[in-house]
Structure 1
């Protein structure tokens, strides 16, 4: 059985790749959707007290965008 943490890490990696793709295409709508998905994943991780190494990277990137 895959742990919640591992599931969130996999989903975060996938969503981050889709976010990069949306940025590359200058697609504001997809960027907004994927950003919301990532925020939700991070909120779930926080609610369960899980530390995801990718979370800080995403938050830093979000601040620069």
Structure 2
């Protein structure tokens, strides 16, 4: 459901705290940004943020 909506809206990236969702989005060409939580500390290849300020820096660096 989430994937379909993001695709319909043309999202290029999405912030989530569940790695399963992030892997699925990545497989469909949507860049996941992981919002760090205690349950998602295992290694992964995605950008991660600990707070909204860090997210703002990432989004400003990639205006597309």
Q: Which has the higher strand share?
A: 2
State the TM-score, normalizing by the size of structure 1. Answer: 0.29
RCO greater where, 1 or 2, for CA within 8 Å and sep 6 or more? 1
Q: Which has the higher helix share?
A: 1
